[in-house]
């Protein structure tokens, strides 16, 4: 008989339950599969009622984030062979998010936080691209490129205990995204974003646990973005206090 591995999956059916329970499924230990393939096997062959999000299957859409043995992971990027068939793999919805059903979480609050930092280029002199171009050197691109790789998978929110403790905290991805635009040579919106992020619920809520950076599947380094943001803000404040002409 082919080797199998046990998936212990959190189930939450709001019409039947007041809190989640676990259900186990034995799936083939297929060495070519990622964890998402194993979940799709459950969905297609064993239990069609299991609910989870997924789309691209190649680490781009950021939909299939889940807690795997207590660690936030993109299930499409985790080979099944990362786990031993002798031990069950525990799969839960992303922690610190409200659960809608089974492995599907409510991301409304995350989307609100994301848009609150104005993640777009802000400048007064915007002209149509047919008549104007906004050039950028490779070095200027390098300044923010790393922070632009975020796929909004929310693993960093699930890794951050501050998100769990303080629901108003803007969170790693939103602050990193703000920093992505602040560091863009074409942008002039840093001051507007400062109004949102120079707050306890903004960058100062971060206590530098650093787990957001460790779990990021795109090496965005949100912890780094937040600390750099803090440093720049603190330096501006010092200059405004010490220099007669202020921070400008």
Q: Nearest distance from residue 183's CB to other proteins, in Å?
A: 11
**Paired tokens of 76:** 């499409």
Q: Does 223 bind other proteins (CB under 8 A)?
A: yes
Report the C-alpha gap between 127 and 137 in whole angstroms: 20
Q: Does 12 bind other proteins (CB under 8 A)?
A: yes
The conformation of residue 204, written as its DSSP 8-state character, comes to G
Q: From the list 95, 158, 194, 233, which residue makes contact with other proteins (rule: CB under 8 A)? A: 95
Q: Does 100 bind other proteins (CB under 8 A)?
A: yes
The conformation of residue 42, written as its DSSP 8-state character, comes to I
Q: Does 28 bind other proteins (CB under 8 A)?
A: no
Residue 67 CA from chain centroid, whole number: 13
Q: Does 197 bind other proteins (CB under 8 A)?
A: no
Q: Which residue stretch of 113-121, 123-131, 158-166, 190-198 sits at the interface with other proteins (rule: CB under 8 A)?
A: 158-166
223: three-class secondary structure by DSSP: helix
Q: Does 91 bind other proteins (CB under 8 A)?
A: no
Q: Does 85 bind other proteins (CB under 8 A)?
A: no
Report the C-alpha gap between 122 and 112 in whole angstroms: 19
Per-residue buried b or exposed e for 167-180, using 16+ beta carbons within 10 Å of the residue's own CB: eebbbbbbbbbbbb
Q: Does 207 bind other proteins (CB under 8 A)?
A: yes
Helix 222-242 × helix 172-182 angle, to 10°: 60
Q: From the list 1, 70, 242, 248, which residue makes contact with other proteins (rule: CB under 8 A)? A: 70
Given a contact cutoff of 8 angstroms between Cβ atoms, the answer to whether 119 and 171 are in contact is: no
Cβ proximity to other proteins, 20 vs 65, nearer residue? 20
Report the C-alpha gap between 31 and 153 in whole angstroms: 25
Q: Which residue stretch of 50-58, 194-202, 221-229, 239-247 sits at the interface with other proteins (rule: CB under 8 A)?
A: 221-229
Applying CB under 8 A, the residues found at the interface with other proteins are: 12, 14-15, 18-20, 70, 95-96, 98-100, 106, 139, 161, 164-165, 207-211, 213-214, 221, 223-224, 227-228, 230-231
């Amino acid at each position: 008989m082919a080797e199998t591995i046990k998936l212990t999956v959190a189930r939450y059916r709001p019409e039947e339950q007041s809190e989640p329970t676990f259900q186990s499924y034995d799936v083939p230990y297929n060495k070519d599969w990622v964890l998402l393939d194993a979940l799709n096997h459950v969905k297609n062959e064993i239990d069609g009622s299991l609910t989870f999000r997924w789309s691209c299957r190649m680490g781009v859409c950021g939909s299939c984030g889940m807690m795997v043995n207590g660690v936030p992971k993109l299930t499409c990027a985790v080979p099944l062979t990362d786990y031993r068939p002798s031990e069950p793999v525990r799969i839960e919805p992303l922690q610190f998010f409200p659960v809608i059903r089974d492995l599907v979480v409510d991301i409304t609050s995350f989307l609100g936080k994301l848009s609150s930092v104005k993640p777009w280029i802000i400048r007064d002199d915007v002209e149509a691209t047919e008549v104007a171009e906004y050039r950028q050197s490779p070095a200027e691109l390098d300044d923010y490129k790393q922070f632009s790789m975020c796929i909004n998978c929310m693993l960093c929110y699930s890794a951050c205990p501050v998100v769990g403790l303080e629901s108003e905290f803007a969170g790693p991805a939103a602050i990193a995204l703000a920093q992505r635009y602040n560091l863009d040579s074409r942008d002039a919106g840093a001051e507007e974003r400062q109004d949102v992020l120079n707050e306890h619920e903004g960058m100062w809520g971060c206590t530098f646990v650093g787990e957001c950076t460790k779990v990021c599947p795109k090496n965005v380094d949100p912890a780094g973005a937040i600390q750099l943001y803090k440093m720049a803000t603190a330096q501006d404040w010092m200059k405004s206090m010490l220099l007669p002409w202020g921070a400008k």
